[in-house]
Amino acid sequence: MTDPAGPADLVFTGGHVHTVDPELPRADAVAVRGERIVAVGSAADVAGLIGRGTRVVDLDGRLLLPGFQDAHIHPISGGVDRLQCDVRDARGRDGVLDKIREYAAAHPDDDWVIGSGWYMADFENGTPRREDLDAIIPDRPALFPNRDGHSTWVNSTALALAGIDRDTPDPTDGRIERDPDGTPTGTLHEGAGHLVERLMPEVTAEQMADGLHLAQAYLHSLGITAWQDASLRPEDEAVYRAAAEAGWLTARVEGAMWWDRSRGDDQVEELIERSRTGSAGRLRLNSVKLMQDGVLETFTGAMIDPYLGGDGSPTDNRGISFIDPERLAVWVTRLDAAGLQPHFHAIGDRAVRECLDAVAAARATNGTSDTRPHIAHIQVIHPDDVPRFSALGVVANAQPYWACHEGQMDVLTIPFLGPERSTWQYPFRSLLAAGSRLAMGSDWSVSTPNPLLEIEVAVTRVADGSRGEREPFLPEQALTLAEAIRAFTAGSAYVNHLETETGTIQAGKLADLVVVDRDLFAPDAGPIGDGRVLATFVGGAAVFEGPALG
Ligand SMILES: [Zn+2]
């Protein structure tokens, strides 16, 4: 049989096609013409579509998935981090210092040496020292925030430039790590880091564009075809729009415009206008990012009941609601009425509840809209609030890579939540069981953007770095591989308002596809996170292709 519309441009055959389409969950072959999928089925179903000009990819038993969509990510800053001295892949103190030495030598003319991504556990007491940096960079200021951005490592030149010495008091929003005699050691916590950061050369628009370019190539190499940028400032928007207009924005991007919490409703009209005029190419601006609290490790996550002290007794600290909850309800109602999507950051159970209450207020006033509000991070959810996600049509936007036992969880979180609330963390299974929609994302560059590593933790609840060594974290909340893949594809496509065109492999949809080097569903596939992406397609065009595809 030959198709009257002509042969396909691209055919995948001979593999496991995991479609995420409940009507036809599994197939062997897919045909693509132009930017769309034209057939999904068996080798026989696509045979008639293979012509002389058709590229045929023999999957050879490997896996074809819909493109991954990251529902909460910061690609521009992540890319800029990678342009600078990124030590995320270095192992141990010596590995980090080697990486910095190499970078400093390769950039002798930079006025500052700037990098990021060290891990607290690699240094004694979690706090690296200035002398280590001084030995490598004696004559220029050097500044390195850690992986989560809450602590900053600097050298003596940077301390001197900022005028920080043993007589400098701690700022109200931070702490200077000191030796017993008061001398700064070189680690600055939270707001103390700003004392040096404010002197740093500003990131230019050109560096931001280079960062986005690098980030996009990196994310495509991991199988990511679309994302939601979780904090779009006007200057980020300009970088994306320029990329779209120049024709190199190959990813599909939903931008969550940053809600400036130092301002009020006066910004609503501006956001509506940006949403109306900001779209270009594959860029859409329909979302607004509302950051409702901080993080548990610094006790800024907003909790219903107080944190416990180090000795297990209650304190009077319930964390911080960054936006007054009554105002949050008013603003979310306005944004929802204007057709804008609320994208919340909520970590503590009170912050989650305040965001749900705000959506409930919007629903009561506006009726059920199609704005698809979503709450990112959802670290602690009060059990009473779990069913409210589906009842209110709020998507749970999970960062599954955090749902495991590691230093931040075991040392900095569980003791301060106590035994009961510790079991309310990352309740992905309970959310699904209650009928919620689940989307997934990485929060890169806080954590790895590799969806296969994140999916592994969603399934095993064990960090890839401690496979076989640690107990799973709340294993009753684990997902199946198919559920986690669904969240990372169709689930995130839904929050991006892209689900009618992407998110599953179905005839008629856009050909956003990923080839993985092994069938992850096979019993001998090995750890999920060891899988490698061989090729990524957006709208039928290869945006990443490794040599091993064949
Ligand atoms: Zn984020």
Ligand 1 center to residue 443 CA distance, Å? Answer: 5
In which band, very low, low, confident or very high, does the pLDDT at 2 lie, cut at 50, 70 and 90?
A: low
Could you tell me the distance, in angstroms and rounded to a whole number, from the CA of residue 447 to the centre of ligand 1? Answer: 10
Alpha-carbon Rg for the chain in angstroms: 24
pLDDT band at 104 (very low <50, low <70, confident <90, very high): very high
What sign for the dihedral angle of Cα 364, 365, 366, 371? negative
Tell me how far the alpha carbon of residue 276 lies from the centroid of ligand 1, in angstroms: 24
Strand residues in 53-169 grouped as ranges (E): 55-58, 63-66, 68-73, 85-86, 113-116, 142-145, 151-154
Mean predicted lDDT score pLDDT of the chain: 95
The Å distance, Cα 543 to ligand 1 centre, comes to 25
Confidence grade of residue 99 (pLDDT, cut at 50, 70, 90): very high
How many angstroms does the Cα of residue 71 sit away from the middle of ligand 1? 10
- pLDDT tens-place string over residues 521-541: 999 999 999 999 999 999 999
For the four alpha carbons of 188, 191, 192 and 198, in that order, the dihedral sign comes to positive
Sheet with 10-13: strands ordered across: 36-41, 29-33, 10-13, 55-58
Residue 112, token pair as written in the block: 């500052």
CA distances from 97 to 122, 128, 157, 402 (A): 11, 11, 17, 26
The sheet with strand 142-145 has its strands ordered as: 85-86, 113-116, 142-145, 151-154, 184-190, 174-178
Helix (H) or strand (E) holding 97: helix 92-106
CA of 448 to the centre of ligand 1 (A): 12
Residues 6+ positions from 31 with CB-CB distance below 8 Å? 8, 10, 11, 37, 38, 39, 40, 46, 49, 50
Supply 215's token pair: 């980030």
Rounded to the nearest angstrom, the distance between the alpha carbon of 230 and the centre of ligand 1 is: 6
CA of 325 to the centre of ligand 1 (A): 20
How far is the C-alpha of 105 from the C-alpha of 240, rounded, in Å? 32
Report, as an integer, the average pLDDT of 415-426. Answer: 96
Other C-beta atoms closer than 10 Å to the C-beta of 82 total 18
301 C-alpha vs ligand 1 centroid, how far in Å? 14
Are 80 and 115 contacting, i.e. CB atoms less than 8 angstroms apart? Answer: no
Closest CA to 492 of 308, 267, 229, 262: 229
Q: Of the candidates 225, 289, 222, 224, which has an alpha carbon nearest to the alpha carbon of residue 255?
A: 289
Tokens of 179: 């030796």
Q: Which residues surround ligand 1, an ion (CB under 5 A)?
A: 230, 443
177-234, pLDDT tens digit by residue? 999 999 999 999 888 999 999 999 999 999 999 999 999 999 999 999 999 999 999 9
Task: Find the 291 Cα to ligand 1 centroid distance in Å.
Answer: 9
Tell how far the Cα of 147 is from the centroid of ligand 1, in angstroms.
Answer: 13
Strands 252-258 and 541-545: unpaired
Would you say residue 3 has pLDDT above 80? no
- Ligand 1 centroid to residue 74 C-alpha, Å: 7
What is the mean predicted confidence (pLDDT) over 80-99?
A: 94
Among the residue ranges 115-124, 151-160, 493-502, the one predicted with the least confidence is: 115-124
Average pLDDT over residues 267-280: 95
In angstroms, the CA 306 to CA 415 distance is 13
d(CA 72, ligand 1 centre) in Å: 6
Confidence grade of residue 4 (pLDDT, cut at 50, 70, 90) = low
* Cα separation of the two ends of the chain: 27
Residue 81 CA, ligand 1 centroid: distance in Å? 15
Question: DSSP code of 22?
Answer: T
H helix or E strand, kind and range, residue 196: helix 194-197
Can you spell out the DSSP letters for 116-147? Answer: E-B-GGGSGGG---HHHHHHH-SSS-EEEEBT
Cα–ligand 1 centroid distance for 470 (angstroms) = 27
Q: How far apart are CA 353 and CA 105, in angstroms?
A: 50
d(CA 345, ligand 1 centre) in Å: 7
Q: Residue 292 corresponds to which tokens in the numbers above?
A: 């409702």
Q: What is the pTM of this model?
A: 0.92
State the pLDDT at residue 335.
Answer: 97
CA 43 to ligand 1 center in whole angstroms:
42
Chain segment 144-191, per-residue pLDDT in tens: 999 878 899 999 999 999 999 999 999 887 889 999 999 999 999 888
Q: Which residues contact 350 (CB under 8 A, 6 or more apart)?
A: 293, 302, 303, 304, 318, 319, 321
Say how many Å lie between the CA of residue 53 and the centre of ligand 1: 44
How many whole angstroms from 256 Cα to the centroid of ligand 1?
11
Q: Is 529 exposed, middle or buried (0-12, 13-18, 19+ CB in 10 A)?
A: buried
Contact 333, 361 (CB under 8 A): yes
Q: Which helix (H) or strand (E) holds 20?
A: none
E strand or H helix at 444: none
Cβ within 8 Å of residue 86, ≥6 positions away? 115, 116, 117
The 10s digit of each residue's pLDDT in 292-329 is 998 887 788 999 999 999 888 999 999 999 999 999 99
Residue 33 phi, psi dihedral angles, 5° rounding: -125, 125
Q: Rounded to the nearest whole angstrom, what is the distance from the C-alpha of residue 73 to the centroid of ligand 1?
A: 6
Cis peptide preceding 321, ω within 30 of 0: no
CA 264 / ligand 1 centre spacing (Å): 22
Distance 487 CA to ligand 1 centre (A): 18
Identify the band that residue 495 occupies on the pLDDT scale cut at 50, 70 and 90: very high
**How far does the centroid of ligand 1 lie from the alpha carbon of residue 231, in Å?**
7
Which pLDDT does position 310 carry in this prediction?
A: 83
C-alpha of residue 32 to centroid of ligand 1, in Å = 35
pLDDT digits (tens, 9 = 90+) for 275-285: 999 999 999 99
The 10 Å CB-count burial string (b at 16+, else e) for 330-364 is bbbbbbbebebbbbbbbbbbbbbbbbbbbbbbbbe
